[in-house]
A and B are shown apart, each in its own frame.
Chain A
Amino acid sequence: MSALRGLLRKEIVHIRRDPRTLTVLIALPVVQVVLFGYAIRTDVTNVRLAIVDPMPDHATLDLRNRFAAAGVFRIVAVVPRTENLEPLFQTGAAQQAVVFEPDFGDHLENTPSARLQIITDATDPNTGALLDAYASSVIDVWQRELASRDVVSALRRTPRTRVVIVPQTRMRFNPTRESSNLFVPGLMAFVLTIISSLMTAISLTREKETGTMESLLVSPLKPWQIIVGKVAPYLVIGFISVVTILLEALLLFRVPLRGNVLLLLAEGGLFILTSLSLGILVSARTSSQRVAMIGALVGTLLPNVLLSGFIFPVESMPAVLQAFAFVIPGRWFVEIARGIMLKGVGLDYLWQATLILGVTTLLLLAASTRSFKTRLE
């Protein structure tokens, strides 16, 4: 029995004295709680709402105020024509729009029905359904209040027809609300991260672990040659993966590709370069494959899965995490890929995201090249 106790004690001592294990054991639960508690929110706040009001009157103004006061919405624009909506949706400035027909107030008072339309960006089908429900409920409540006011006027003996508002919702960008449409860009980021960051880190540290890195360093090979030589195959494999995923998405899952394929591939290339640099950076700090793998997982894969908008919308995250997501390449790539595939937009709308991704790539490339040492220390 004392043998068992001795063994237990030994393990505890090992854990206490190994800073890495300690960090993982303590930090991991904390990180998990924070992330899962805050980032992963499936309810929605701060919905960006656009209003199309060709002829504002007391009725439309009243309903608009209701939306503004609901707390869930934030009115980002009021425009006179439906045509003005297009750019707002494409840039993501608006997630939802309420479109009043002309003479809304007049129709409400004097005809059996007055029409308005709810248009929702359903790129994310989960969010889309929720947005829909929120908007509908606001309108519902308003209708009932109208009806109750009617009772009052009915008591006043003023004859009035009850109004039925028929909202017409249209799920933009994802009319069939396929979740695969949503996931595919994120999936691309995920696979590319595995290939470009994880595999690169492992490959470089394997060289160190087997001892062959010493032989390479002593040779006249320049650092960039060693890096390119080890990393280029993964670049090629990464591209092949992107193409494969795209083909599968298009042919098997019928995910739309509304934008420019070449642009998508080019942005994919940019993202691959960024991931490669991250892989090199991770491997520069360690000679152990195991550590490199964990480093790559925690430093690249986890953020790209949790904070890129792959599964959980970035807009729903608290400001702190949104700011953090700013520097995660996957977040920009997912946005770019979704834009190209689902919204069909081009550089004119994506130039900011591309610029951020490009700058990140350059910085990481520079850092990783510098981190690669030509000596053993």
Chain B
Amino acid sequence: MSTSVAVDNLVKHFGTTKALDGVSFEVERGELFGLIGPDGAGKTTLLRILVTLLLPQSGHATVLGNDVVTDMWALRQRVGYMAGRFSLYPDLSVEENLQFFASVFGTTIEHEHDRIAPIYSQLEPFKGRRAAALSGGMKQKLALCCALVHRPEILFLDEPTTGVDAVSRREFWDLLDGLTREGLTTIVSTPYMDEATRCHRVALIQRGRLLAVDTPASIVAAFDRPLFGIKTPNRYDALRALREYERVHSIYPFGEQLHYTDKDLDREPRAIQREVAEFLRSRGIEQVSVDTIEPSIEDSFIARMGTPETMRGDAA
């Protein structure tokens, strides 16, 4: 069977809070699948249900053909899981942590050496060091090792790169690429939108609902109108001015630029560029350049999240 994970209408409450509000999607075998969303979106809850740590109120999910509710013990042999935020023993050394997790699954480091070698080679120089004394990036690599040591058929990683420096983040994703190349299905959750592009397919999640499930390229391609980047030294004034522009559909800061979309879907981009620049000049804002740009995953996320015009607080 080529579907590794099948999720059908999962619902999960915690008291009055709805963590998951009818989530459905599938993951194919060998995919590197990303769950992209901010804190509180439901990523951790979803992952915990899939690794049999929580029960949904309604809906079904199967992982590798096993139902997550009824086939709990069969699944626990087959999945690898890396919980969010440092699930290692701080007072044990690198090697001791790994040995422990290997023994829990009835194996040893030596036995699985070839599986974890590419990652372990980076850790081996520190194998006697206590886990608490490792840097953030090293801790995550160790946690990944521990999750892999029993040769799982599928890997679930909950925010493995949160709080980790940019270099270690990239290295971590390189490791994931390596694992995927060997055929391991991996589901990763992350709040970093830019990491979406490193996945085969992604699900954008916010407030317990999926905003989109597709390849990153397709999501971006589905951006429904031209996107413009406005550069000006008076960013803030330009922002306030454009809010009052009659043709504005959405305007928000994005790095050093402002991203702008127009109400009119059919208008020529160059005309829009001209008009916006003129409008700004009429408000006393000079040194403006308006260019068409490619939307990113983050732009798509924002567009699908809600009405970008009302970006002032109230409509939460």
Contact = CB atoms under 8 A, between A and B. Distances in A.
Given A374-B72, A376-B48, A219 B54 contact: no
B105 interface: yes
A219 B83 CA distance: 12
B52 interface: yes
Contacts of A216: 104
A216 B54 CA distance: 14
Q: B-side binding surface: helix, strand, loop or mixed?
A: loop
Interface stretch (B86-94, B200-208, B302-310): B86-94
Given A211-B83, A375-B52, A375-B53, A220 B105 contact: yes
Interface string A366-377: 000000001111
Nearest to A213: B87
A218 B54 contact: no
21 contacts: A211-B83, A211-B84, A212-B88, A214-B53, A214-B83, A214-B87, A215-B83, A215-B87, A215-B146, A218-B52, A218-B79, A218-B81, A219-B101, A220-B77, A220-B104, A220-B105, A221-B104, A375-B52, A375-B53, A376-B48, A377-B55
Interface string A194-233: 0000000000000000111011111111000000000000
Interface in A321-377: 374-377
Interface of B: 48, 51-55, 72-73, 76-77, 79, 81, 83-90, 101, 104-105, 146
Contact of A217 (B53, B79, B101): B53
Given A210-B89, A211-B85, A211-B86, A375 B55 contact: yes
Nearest to B79: A218
Given A215-B83, A218-B81, A375 B54 contact: yes
B73 A211 contact: no
A212 B104 contact: no
A376 B53 contact: yes
A211 B85 CA distance: 8
A218 B85 contact: no
A210 B53 contact: no
Nearest to A222: B73
Contacts of B105: 219-220
Given A212-B87, A212-B88, A219-B105, A377 B146 contact: no
Nearest to B48: A376
A220 B73 contact: yes
Given A218-B76, A218-B81, A220-B77, A211 B87 contact: yes
Contacts of A374: 72
Contacts of A219: 76, 101, 104-105
B271 to A, nearest CB: 56
A219 B103 CA distance: 11
Interface string A90-108: 0000000000000000000
Contacts of A217: 53
Contacts of B54: 375-377
Interface core residue of B48, B53, B72, B146 (most chain A CB under 10 Å):
B53
B105 to A, nearest CB: 6
A377 B57 CA distance: 12
B143 to A, nearest CB: 9
A214 B84 CA distance: 10
Nearest to A373: B53
Contacts of A375: 52-55
A360 B189 CA distance: 47
Given A211-B83, A376-B48, A218 B88 contact: no
A251 B24 CA distance: 71
Nearest to B88: A212
Nearest to B150: A219
Interface in A215-264: 215-221
Interface in A160-212: 210-212
B153 to A, nearest CB: 14
B193 to A, nearest CB: 26
A376 B51 CA distance: 11
Contacts of A220: 73, 76-77, 104-105
Contacts of A214: 53, 81, 83, 87
Residue of A212, A221, A374 most packed against chain B (CB within 10 A): A212
A211 to B, nearest CB: 5
Contacts of B146: 215
Contacts of A215: 81, 83, 87, 101, 146
A38 to B, nearest CB: 42
Contacts of B101: 215, 219
A218 B47 CA distance: 12
Nearest to B54: A376
A261 B88 CA distance: 43
Nearest to B76: A220
B101 to A, nearest CB: 7
B74 to A, nearest CB: 9
A377 B48 CA distance: 11
A249 B116 CA distance: 54
A215 B144 CA distance: 12
Nearest to B158: A214
B144 to A, nearest CB: 12
A221 B52 CA distance: 13
Contacts of B72: 374
A99 to B, nearest CB: 64
Contact of B51 (A211, A218, A221, A377): A218
A57 to B, nearest CB: 78
A210 B73 contact: no
Contacts of B90: 210
A243 to B, nearest CB: 28
Contacts of B53: 214, 217-218, 375-376
B80 to A, nearest CB: 9
A337 B12 CA distance: 53
Contacts of A210: 86-87, 89-90
